[in-house]
Structure 1
Amino acid sequence: MRCLLWRLHRGQLLWTAIVLAVGCAVMALVAQSADRWLAHYEHWQAQLGKAGCPLPSDGGSFVRAPPPACQALLSRYSSGKQESFVHAYNFAIPAFEEGLPLLVVVIGVLVGAPLVAREVEQRTQLVAWTQSVSRRRWYATKTSILAACLAFAGLVAGLANDRVQIPLTRGGLTSSRWIWFFSIDLAPAAEAVLAFALAVTIGAYLRRTLAAIGAALIGFLALFLLTGWIVRSLTPVSRATGPRGTPDNSWGIGGGQYHPAGQYWPLQLIYVAILLLLAAALLAAGWRATRPRNIV
């Protein structure tokens, strides 16, 4: 069964591995580039101090006018640290913070949608489900192994993306890693598995691969928004007191309420658990759709 699984899905798995490798390589290069940018900026500040030049504020303004001898040095980052850094790396938000979850979801849908739907379209289920391998084993083996592969791919991508967000957050592109909550660490792995399970189930009921792909993408968006709202709004929160507002590195949700920095991992685990439970329920529903009386 495993040899058959490899022969049938090796193209999908190889393309997933290639896309993952290229994406991780790009993220590693961007992370190293941002690290070098910040190191150069710190070196530039040290040069200003040695030359006796005034240090600019973050906005690039000066308390007193710089002497002519400092003009050449000061021209490197005339807009200040944050604005100069954002100008250099503002592409990272659509590429990584938004693009990575979309990528793993699309991969999960493309792998999952044909799993049952293509068998029914081509009528090959009449052979696949009447051999020595039972229909239950066929379904369980395929879904479990492919889901595990997608989870591993999503985990690697999420950890690589976490490496990217560290220098980008230090440089001021985003205020904290909470902005990246749904695109780093464990989240992409669970999102890939949910997208896969949703596509498998919808494909089993619709019995059309292309229709299943479109419906799964729309359905995932709805589930993503719902689970994100649950994690953000329905889990325990803290309330800001005094004039300082919400603390640094917290996840503000409005009305003076926020999730403190220490809740990051508990909330990630809650989010992942919700997505995996939904995926398990969807795969169980997809199994019911493969019963002989449901497919003719």
Structure 2
Amino acid sequence: MTALAPTTAADTRHPSAPPRLTRWLLRLHRPALYVWAGLVIVLSAALLWLGGPLTDAAGAAWEQYNACGEAPTCVYDQPSIIRYKDVYSVTTFAVLIAPFLVAAWAGATLTSRELETGTAQLTWTQSVSPVRWLTVRLAAPAALVAAGTGLLVALHHLAWSAGEGRIRTAKSWSDFPTFYAGGIVTVALALLGLVVGVLVGLLWHRSLPALATSVAATAGAFTLVNLALPHLWPSVTRVTTRTQGAPSGGGLTVEQGILTSTGARLPDPYCGGDVFPDCRATYDGLDAVGYYHDYHPLSHYWPLQLTATALTLAIGALLVFAAFRVLRSRTGGAPRRGRTTAV
């Protein structure tokens, strides 16, 4: 009778534990993590400086200027006003480019680089499914992007609020850069840039084309959201007669023009009003009886921010679904087992 050979520990094969993907992801993209952290820290310090000492100095300079009255000569701290304006412009621009920086990085390295070099395919042989691999590459960076961008837009909004009523040259809430740099919609746009980069990387498998495509696609999405923004919440209409002139006032303009006697809306020729005979004849020929102005007042700030954010996140959710569909169509979504080959 043949005796059975004892089973040794060496003969027993145990599948290796799945690697800790989040830790590996952070180590793999450590340079980008350092750059992002440095950018957030430096820009946060600049925004705190803007909303604190710079605003105080510029506000005091405007008080000096206002106290001059009709005096022929006026001594005031003009450099502080100029410094505030310059720092505000630079920090606002820096916050606005955050979604594009995220899109460029995500498109160039987050998925395309690993697919291009074969690192992703090697990971899928280590009991890690492609779906889990992609989930980690979306979730971990999304948390960091949301935290960093959220901090920046909050500090920008506080810095802008600190100068309201104190600085005569301060931007209005409806100013395009101010509205986005200090609003939560920019956080959603940064997350959208991340998703766009991931999806483009899955499609291209090449870093440089994916980088360019991601930035262009994010710019297109930004433009789409901005075009839809004025129509995401019911606007307020102000009507005036021809003798009163065109309506004035601040806010985010949706549409404006002239009204005819039948209530029809026509574009305003902007010829100067009834004080000029030629202009009066032009308005008479158009049967104009007054003006209209559809706009959003300050009270619509948060409704517009929230609806624009919801639209942006909805687009991002669709792109996340598309990214998983693309991955599943190419890999089947299951971990690849078997002998590991060099890539």
Higher helix share: 1
Q: List per-residue Cα deviations over 1:83-117 (Å, max 9, x = no partner).
A: x7763433245413333111342134313542221
Q: State the alpha-carbon separation in 1 of the partners of residues 104 and 297 from structure 2.
A: 34
Q: State the alpha-carbon separation in 1 of the partners of residues 330 and 103 from structure 2.
A: 28
Is contact 2:55–2:84 with CA below 8 Å preserved after alignment? no
Residue of structure 2 equivalent to 1:121: 116
Question: Which of the residues 81, 90, 93 maps onto 1:95?
Answer: 90
SS in 2 for 1:252: strand
Partner AA of 1:283 in structure 2:
V
Is contact 2:103–2:218 with CA below 8 Å preserved after alignment? no
Is 1:21–2:21 an aligned residue pair?
A: no
Q: State the alpha-carbon separation in 2 of the partners of residues 220 and 108 from structure 1.
A: 7
Q: State the alpha-carbon separation in 2 of the partners of residues 169 and 111 from structure 1.
A: 37
Question: Which of the residues 299, 316, 321 maps onto 1:284?
Answer: 321
Residue of structure 2 equivalent to 1:193: 191
Which is further off, 205-214 or 275-284? 275-284
Q: State the alpha-carbon separation in 1 of the partners of residues 187 and 50 from structure 2.
A: 22
Q: State the alpha-carbon separation in 2 of the partners of residues 236 and 270 from structure 1.
A: 11
Is contact 2:107–2:207 with CA below 8 Å preserved after alignment? no
Check 1:113–1:197 CA distance in 2 against 1; reply closer, same or farther (3 A cut).
Answer: farther
Is contact 1:34–1:167 with CA below 8 Å preserved after alignment? no
Is 1:269–2:306 an aligned residue pair?
A: yes
Q: State the alpha-carbon separation in 2 of the partners of residues 293 and 253 from structure 1.
A: 45
- The Cα shift of 1:33 comes to 3.1
Is 1:207–2:244 an aligned residue pair?
A: no
Q: State the alpha-carbon separation in 1 of the partners of residues 59 and 82 from structure 2.
A: 17
Superposition CA RMSD, Å: 2.6
Is contact 2:48–2:155 with CA below 8 Å preserved after alignment? yes
Is contact 1:201–1:283 with CA below 8 Å preserved after alignment? yes
Partner AA of 2:23 in structure 1:
C
Partner AA of 2:30 in structure 1:
R
SS in 2 for 1:21: helix
Residue of structure 2 equivalent to 1:145: 140
SS in 2 for 1:75: coil
Question: Which of the residues 128, 135, 138 maps onto 1:133?
Answer: 128
Residue of structure 2 equivalent to 1:52: none
Check 1:275–1:234 CA distance in 2 against 1; reply closer, same or farther (3 A cut).
Answer: closer
Q: Could you say which structure has the larger radius of gyration?
A: 2
SS in 1 for 2:318: helix
Which is further off, 115-124 or 34-43? 34-43
- The Cα shift of 1:267 comes to 0.8
TM-score (norm 1): 0.81
Alignment of 1:22-171 (within 5 A): 22-41=42-61, 44=64, 55-56=68-69, 62=70, 74-76=74-76, 87-92=82-87, 94-170=89-165, 171=167
Is contact 1:154–1:190 with CA below 8 Å preserved after alignment? no
TM-score (norm 2): 0.70
- The Cα shift of 1:221 comes to 1.1
Q: State the alpha-carbon separation in 2 of the partners of residues 293 and 157 from structure 1.
A: 38
Check 1:75–1:45 CA distance in 2 against 1; reply closer, same or farther (3 A cut).
Answer: closer
Check 1:91–1:44 CA distance in 2 against 1; reply closer, same or farther (3 A cut).
Answer: closer
Which is further off, 197-206 or 105-114? 105-114
SS in 1 for 2:253: strand
Identity rate of aligned residues, in percent? 23
Check 1:237–1:43 CA distance in 2 against 1; reply closer, same or farther (3 A cut).
Answer: closer
Which is further off, 104-113 or 22-31? 104-113
- The Cα shift of 1:148 comes to 1.7
What are structure 2's unaligned runs of at least 5 residues?
A: 1-20, 257-292, 333-343
What are structure 1's unaligned runs of at least 5 residues?
A: 49-54, 57-61
List structure 1 segments (4+ residues) > 6 angstroms apart after TM superposition: none
